Amino acid sequence: MVTNPVHGLPFLPGSSFTDSTKTAFHRSQTLGYRNGYAVVRRPTVGIGGDRLHYNQLSQAELDELANKAPVLTYGPPRQPPPAEFVPAHVAFDKKVLKFSAYFQEDVPISMEEHYRIRQVNIYYYLEDDSMSIIEPVVENSGIPQGKLVKRQRLAKNDVGDHYHWKDLNRAINITIYGKTFRIVDCDRFTQEFLESQGIELNPPEKMALDPYTELRREPVRKYITPSDFDQLKQFLTFDKQVLRFYAIWDDTDSLFGECRHYIIHYYLMDDTVEIREVHERNNGRDPFPLLMNRQRMPKILVENAKNFPQCVLEISDQEVLEWYTAKDFIVGKPLTILGRTFFIYDCDPFTRQYYRDKFGMPDLPRIDVSKQEPPPIKQELPPYNGYGLIEDSAQNCFALIPKPPRKDIIKMLVNDNKVLRYLAALESPIPEDKDRRFVFSYFLATDMISIFEPPVRNSGIIGGKFLGRTKVVKPFSPVDNPVYYGPGDFFIGAVIEVFGHRFIILDTDEYVLKYMESNASQYSPEALASIQNRIQKQDVPAPESESKQATEEPTAQNLEEPNAQNLEEPKAQNLEEPKAQDLEILIDTIQMHLKDHSCKDNLREAFQIYDKEDSGYVDKETFFKVCDTLNVPVDDSLIKELIRMCTHGGGKINYYNFVRAFSN
């Protein structure tokens, strides 16, 4: 098989070779069947599997198919009339593109200049694509200027192509007759024309200046008027007058930096400045009196002096454009002297008076520069994990070696060996738990609770210690700030929930009754009412049958013995006493406590003034207003309970029963 490896070479000996690697020389099948019909396939590969390159349309054929219009029903469409022909010399008449350019010309025979920059204008005439180069004429330049290249079509290369407006742009170089011109800019008409033709223009450049021409340009004449300032007069007028400022230099941003205090002296006699450092006792610094010696301080230097090393620069009037004066030292503004930024926060009375008379400034206030200590960071404890008491767990966050939490020693000494005991029943849906009784012991010294269940023979329940000494958290108390049960939460009828178990207080011992009477402010009216009901039940004589049965039931004193085995629930007697009887008991109790407070007549007359209908009732707002006027102790727990019992529907209070409590 002989193949032609390179397309375009003649099929001659020496220009082709035999591919010895080919082993298949079959022809592709060109006949196939589709739906039972024979279909001719056009081959895409030749003998041996070589790709056939034919049946491809040329670019001219593709353009013809793209522009081909469909034939209408009644023949081809009518061709539109041709547009009116306008010749180029008419369409582009007097339309010229203008470019600003320059070229560099060597000057080999001059010692003062080595090259010369010559600025030109390049004009492109659109009517015939001709160009001309004209240099603006400068008088007395000594150089022949004007039209450098006459209007003609300029050759672009050696082939014979000419420059077209598509070849021109900003920031490019073009070579014309051996000279390279740099186009820097164009006029507005040229820019709009080229952008309308789809040419993207480069950004403009600055026109280069001729160094020799700039060198010979005469500088602007400066007129310096001699100063009439008299230094001797300044010395005689302001001798021994010094402005004193108090400033700080805050260098805390740098490593081992600190805030240091200074005193700045400004001498009015010669405008000199002196900076003194304020030393404190045991500040750890050498007692150098001066940070900067008395001298005139430059404010603005000339350009050359900024780059020159100032360590060897002797500053004189030629290197300084402006010196520091008294107007630059203002209280409340920073001031940079020799690379250090000082903040002036105060001055002496003479300086304030000088600024008021000289500059008309009011009294300059003193600025507080003392640094405020940052607020202490509030220590946040991690969430409580539920093990032990939260006070014990919190001690692990306060110190590396945890210590036991502090205890109230005074409270422990005052309430030592003081225990409040209560008899309680377990509230449970299980029938076997209804007869179980428990003894609650509340230790006033530590606010801890222990629960003991007296063992009952043949009950099937092992008695003994039900709960050791610990603090019990109230239900629905927040985990981070728990609220524990206190003495005010234990009274007859109260429900105590201990770690998921609900107990109802049934009875107390005599010591609890005495403690509640002596500390009535710690208990609610409901708790005090429970005491009164119990005392009343003890005072009422019981029938013989009940008294006989009572001898068999445990008394309150038996609560002190945790090993008693016969503690049973005392039968409730007269659990619901008439309200009138409770009211009379409460009135008698209040009369005993308020013997010295007698205002019955005045109190009744005050209520009758507001009770126009003599109904015996007044609203709550009027009631508390009268009580406040006559200094009635409505904050007392017994008085609160009396007000509650005298209150009826609609917010009305029966003041007849209330006044009875204050009679002797």
SS3 of 156-168: CCCCCCECCHHHC
Close Cβ partners of 71 (under 8 Å, ≥ 6 residues apart) = none
> Residue 131 and residue 126: Cα distance in Å, rounded?
9
Tokens at 329, concatenated: 């030292």
DSSP per-residue string spanning 71-102: PBTTBSPPPPPPPPP--HHHHTTT-EEEEEEE
Candidates 585, 482, 588; CA nearest to 535 is: 585
| Residues with Cβ within 8 Å of residue 434, at least 6 apart in sequence | 425, 426, 428
What local confidence, expressed as pLDDT, does residue 538 receive? 63
pLDDT computed for residue 88 by the predictor: 83
Maximum alpha-carbon separation in the chain: 153
β-bridge pairing 652-654 and 298-301: unpaired
In the DSSP assignment, the letter for residue 388 is: S
User: Rounded to whole angstroms, what are the CA distances from 219 to 63, 203, 320?
Assistant: 68, 32, 22
Do the beta carbons of residue 366 and residue 345 sit within 8 Å? Answer: yes
Cα–Cα distance between 310 and 283 in angstroms, integer? Answer: 32
pLDDT at 416: 87
Sign, Cα dihedral of 190, 192, 193, 199: positive
Q: How far is CA 314 from CA 317, 323, 440, in A?
A: 10, 15, 96
The whole-number pLDDT of residue 575 equals 32
Spell out the alpha helix ranges (H) of 454-524: 510-518
The DSSP element (H or E) to which 469 belongs, if any, is: strand 464-470
Query: Which string of DSSP letters, residue by residue, matches 58-76?
Result: -HHHHHHHHTPPPPBTTBS
Q: What is the mean pLDDT of each run of 10 residues along the chain (664 residues)?
A: 56 70 82 87 78 69 74 68 84 93 92 91 94 93 91 92 94 93 95 93 93 84 77 87 92 86 93 91 85 89 71 74 89 88 92 89 83 82 78 81 85 88 89 88 92 86 88 85 87 89 88 84 82 68 43 41 36 40 75 60 77 80 82 76 79 80 68
Q: What would the two tokens of residue 611 be?
A: 């009770």
Structure tokens at 438: 């428990």
Q: In the chain, how many H helices and how many E strands? A: 17, 27
Q: 295 with 272: CB under 8 angstroms?
A: yes
The pTM of this model reads: 0.33
- What per-residue confidence (pLDDT) applies to 552? 40
Which position has the token pair 């509030």? 378
3-state secondary structure (DSSP) of residue 228: coil
Are 201 and 170 in contact by the 8 Å Cβ rule? The answer is yes
What's the start-to-end Cα distance of the chain, in Å?
144
Residue 220, C-beta contacts closer than 8 angstroms, at least 6 positions apart: none
Residue 497 · residue 485 · CB < 8 Å: no
Q: Burial, 559: exposed, middle or buried (Cβ in 10 Å; 0-12, 13-18, 19+)?
A: buried
Structure tokens at 399: 């110190």
SS (H, E, C) 97-129: EEEEEEEEEECCCCCCCCEEEEEEEEEEECCCC
**Which residues have CB under 8 Å from 407's CB, separation 6+?**
446
Question: What residues are paired with 250 via a beta bridge?
Answer: 259
Beta-strand pair 495-498/617-619: unpaired
pLDDT of residue 581: 66
Query: Measuring CA to CA, which residue among 142, 143, 92 is closest to residue 120?
Result: 143
For 508, other C-beta atoms within 10 Å of its C-beta total 23
